[in-house]
């Protein structure tokens, strides 16, 4: 008579032990800072809770226990394992350190103990001066325009001489430009060329120059892309196309460099305040350039007020974007020192949500969501309003 009760007690203890074992393993990773509570971690824990209820309640007995243990194993294996390498004597080159992510990253990696080479466009600018005065003796500020072959070669010679025979552990291709945000038809060709020149060709040329040093150290290449590079966003045709090219280049390099022990990662931030949209004076200058190069037909179809409205719309986006860049800095640093970095990191809610909507929901749904976020609203092209008026009259 007591045998079923004893069996139930044994099962309860076995279930408890299986749960405690997985819980301990997860806590151990948290204490070792190897696990961040991201989407995969939360999903893994939810899977465990669901499996516990299904197995313990719906399928009692040893079959349920076996199924629960299997769920525990799958849940644990789905957790991202991030063993971190030591920082000591690792040297990193970062481009675009005048402001934004690059400036904050140079300071952050310097505090972590890296040897940092911070490339800036303006060696006498405020950003460069801040790094010179606020950094440690491990931080070196270098003049580096990534569109200049001569400056890339000079930077390579400086870095190689300072490192001697150590090799370079990491390159972070952060430098980038947005230029102007407007409909693809409105953007002048020099905007497309400028975005490609800086965001893609500059990163490619610098990478090619420094790969021998990365191979020597079996180091890391981290390319800062954007969610605009794999999700179509209204107004970002020039910028998005250049970042899409950088993303494909990164993925192919990841495959090709694996045999050399060099790992490649993409960091795809979503919607942070970095100043990439520029100042009001810069927008006004770009606006004049755009209006001047438009043909009479295009200017008539869109109307100047439609172009002017872009600045206010994207100013509002910047206001609501998070100013704390730490999530981006954390992901870049993990990509640099994780034993097995992920292919892509998406710091910021928008960096994950918008690509997910675009890739996994029907096109009509994703287009609707993106239009609601970035669409013109009441600021529609003048030609569209004229066509609508003509249709109503008919």
- The residues assigned a catalytic role are 239
Whole-number Cα distances in Å, 315 to 191, 207, 285, 321, 347: 20, 33, 16, 10, 21
Q: How many other C-beta atoms are found inside a 10 Å radius of the C-beta of residue 217?
A: 18
Question: Which residue is listed with tokens 């009441």?
Answer: 378
The alpha-carbon radius of gyration of the chain (Å, integer) is: 26
Separation of alpha carbons 174 and 101, rounded Å:
7
What are the DSSP E strand ranges found in 138-262?
139-143, 170-173, 220-224
Question: Which residue is listed with tokens 């120059």?
Answer: 209
SS3 of residue 296 by DSSP? helix
> DSSP letters of 71-106?
HHHHHHHHSPP-PBPP-TT-EEEES--SSHHHHHHH
Residue 143 CB contacts under 8 Å (≥ 6 apart), including other chains: 119, 120, 123, 151, 154, 155
Question: Which residue is listed with tokens 């669409």?
Answer: 375
What are the DSSP E strand ranges found in the chain?
91-94, 115-120, 139-143, 170-173, 220-224, 263-267, 344-345
C-alpha torsion sign, points 353, 356, 362, 364: positive
Q: Are 373 and 349 in contact (CB under 8 A)?
A: no
DSSP lists the bridge partners of residue 120 as 143
**Nearest of 253, 318, 258, 323 to residue 283 by alpha carbon:** 318
Q: How many other C-beta atoms are found inside a 10 Å radius of the C-beta of residue 65?
A: 18
**Nearest of 210, 209, 198, 190 to residue 174 by alpha carbon:** 198
Rounded (5°) CA angle 275-281-286: 90
């Amino acid at each position: 008579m007591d045998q079923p009760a004893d069996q139930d007690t044994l099962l309860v203890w076995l279930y408890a032990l299986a749960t405690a074992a997985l819980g301990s393993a997860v806590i151990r990773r948290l204490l070792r800072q190897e696990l961040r509570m991201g989407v995969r971690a939360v999903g893994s824990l939810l899977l465990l809770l669901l499996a516990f209820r299904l197995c313990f309640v719906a399928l009692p007995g040893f079959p349920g226990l076996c199924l629960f243990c299997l769920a525990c194993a799958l849940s644990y294996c789905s957790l991202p394992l991030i063993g971190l390498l030591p920082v000591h004597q690792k040297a990193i080159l970062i481009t675009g350190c005048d402001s934004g992510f690059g400036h904050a990253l140079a300071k952050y990696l310097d505090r972590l103990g890296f040897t940092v080479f911070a490339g800036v466009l303006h060696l006498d600018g405020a950003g460069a001066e801040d790094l010179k005065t606020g950094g440690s003796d491990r931080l070196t500020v270098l003049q580096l325009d990534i569109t200049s072959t001569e400056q890339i070669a000079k930077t390579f010679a400086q870095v190689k001489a300072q490192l001697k025979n150590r090799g370079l552990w990491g390159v972070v291709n952060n430098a980038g430009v947005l230029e102007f945000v407007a409909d693809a038809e409105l953007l002048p060709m020099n905007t497309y060329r400028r975005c490609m020149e800086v965001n893609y060709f500059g990163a490619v040329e610098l990478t090619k120059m420094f790969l021998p040093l990365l191979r020597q150290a079996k180091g890391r290449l981290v390319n800062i892309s954007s969610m605009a590079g794999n999700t179509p966003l209204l107004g970002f045709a020039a910028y998005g196309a250049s970042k899409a090219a950088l993303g494909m280049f990164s993925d192919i390099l990841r495959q090709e460099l694996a045999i050399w022990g060099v790992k490649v990662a993409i960091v795809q931030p979503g919607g942070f305040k970095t100043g990439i949209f520029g100042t009001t004076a810069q927008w006004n200058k770009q606006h004049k350039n755009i209006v001047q190069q438009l043909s009479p037909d295009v200017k008539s179809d869109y109307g100047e007020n439609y172009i002017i409205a872009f600045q206010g719309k994207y100013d509002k986006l910047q206001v609501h974007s998070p100013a704390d860049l730490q999530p981006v800095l954390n992901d870049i640093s993990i990509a640099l020192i994780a034993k097995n970095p992920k292919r892509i990191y998406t710091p910021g809610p928008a960096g994950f949500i918008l690509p997910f909507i675009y890739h996994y929901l029907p096109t009509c749904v994703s287009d609707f969501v993106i239009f609601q976020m970035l669409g013109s609203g009441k600021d529609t092209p003048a030609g569209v309003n004229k066509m609508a008026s003509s249709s109503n009259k008919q």
